[in-house]
Amino acid sequence: MSGSLAIDLPAIAAALLATIACGSLGNWLVLRKEAMTGDAIAHAVLPGLVAGFLVSGARSAVAMFIGAALAGAAAVLLTTFVRRSTRLEAGAALGIVFTAFFALGVLLLETQGARQVDLDPECVLFGSLETLFYAAPQDGPWIAGVPRELWALAAAATLALGLNIAFGKELAAHAFDPIHARLAGRAPLLVERALLAVVTAAIVASFTAVGSVLVLALLACPALIAAPHARSVRGQLALSLVIGGALAIGGYFLAAHAERLLGSRSALNAAGMIAALMALAVPCSHALRALVSRRA
């Protein structure tokens, strides 16, 4: 592969896969009016990630994922417990529980000397899109040169799409009227837990490649961009992925070529650029919709 392609292609692939994974799941969070849950889970998984890393001694993806899943589940349970016991409003309960978990994670990170590159807080927060690259292996199949982050992302994207296909209608019914879904539905709890589990998986898989800054954006923005134009849940999903994908590619190139375009001295943080673009696109999309309906 030529030089620039070896760097750009993996990064774009990562961004697109993260968009598919987090962007599609984000639709459910937005429809359920739980847009900040993604933010909460993203913070809460940190102690699980660190614990998994420490326990396994090396960057064992499985151990870290299990740790993250357990941490996420514990945080959700604790939040429910807090809300039931004290009748604290949802936002405040989230704010306390999930920051406490994050603090615990930071504590573990800093005191256990787990200062590996992958668990560097800055990398987890801002991603590493600029440093992903394809290294053609000396011997062996070409596929071995693909950065490992992409495999996790591909798995997450597949899981997310699978969830949409398998439980799409139950998720939609639950988002529209959770009480009715609980009363009349087939397996309401199963579907809800499956959603949270897959969301957690997607967040963990996306962390190292795109960072929590882009994960947060993906979990809310593509869905909100598509929302004003959507006439069906499927339509919103499709539109969110198309626009999200386009913005991911656009944002990446904007950041990479900032030197020429904006006169900056070096490449800008790609994940942040994509996130900012997506966030900006939300009010633009709503304004566009308002303009169109006024003309009609």
Partner 1 sequence: MTALIGPNGAGKSTLIKSLLGLVPFVTAERIAFFGADFASTRQRVAYIPQRSQIDWNFPASSLDIVAMGRYAQLGLFRRVGRETRDAARAALAAVGLADAERTQIGALSGGQQQRVLVARALVQDAELLLLDEPFANVDAFTETRLAEVLQRLRADGTTILAVHHDLRSVRSHFDSAILLSNTIVAQGAVAEAMTDAKLAQAYGFHAEPRA
Partner 2 sequence: MSAGSLGANTLGVLAGCVLFGALAGAVGTFVLARRRALVADVAGHAALPGIALAFLAGEALGLGGRTPWLLLAGGACTALLAAWCVAILSRWRRVGADGALAVSLAGFFGLGAVLFSVVQSHPAGSQGGLRTLLLGSAAAMGHSEVLTLAALACATLVLLVAFSKELALVAFDEEFARTAGLPVRRLDLLLTLLLVAAVVAGMQLAGIVLVVAMLIAPAAAARNIGVWTQGRLGGVTCIAALIGALSAAIGVFASRSTAGVPTGAAMTLAAAATFLATIPLARTADRSARA
Q: CA-to-CA distance for 244 and 15, rounded, in angstroms? A: 10
Give the one residue of 148, 180, 257, 289 binding partner 1; rule: CB under 8 A. Answer: 180
**Residue with Cβ nearer partner 2 (113 or 141):** 113
Residue 211 Rama label (left phi>0; alpha psi -120 to 50; beta): left
Give min distance, CB of 153 to partner 2, in A.
19
3: Cα separation from own chain's centroid: 29
Cα separation, 234 vs 195, whole angstroms: 17
Q: Token digits for 270? A: 């790609």
Return the one option of partner 2, partner 1, none that residue 103 interacts with (CB less than 5 to 8 A, by type): partner 2
282 binds partner 1 (CB under 8 A): no
Stretch that binds partner 1, among 155-163, 166-174, 214-222, 264-272 (CB under 8 A): 166-174
Here's the x/- map for partner 1, 184-223, by CB under 8 A: it reads as: xxxx------------------------------------
Instruction: Quote the CA–CA distance of 161 and 278 in Å, as a whole number.
Output: 21
- 296 lies in the site for partner 1, by CB under 8 A: no
Residues 167-206 that bind partner 2 (CB under 8 A): none
The 10 Å CB-count burial string (b at 16+, else e) for 212-237 is bbbbbbbbbbbbbbbbbebeebeebb
Site for partner 2 in 142-161 (CB under 8 A): none
Burial 61-98 (b: 16+ CB within 10 A, else e): bebbbbbbbbbbbebbebbeebbeeeebeeeebbbebb
Residues interacting with partner 2, by CB under 8 A? 30, 33-36, 38-39, 43, 82, 85-89, 91-92, 94-97, 99-100, 102-104, 106-107, 110-111, 113, 121-122, 125-126, 211, 213-214, 216-217, 219-221, 224, 227-228, 255, 264-269, 271-280, 282-283, 286
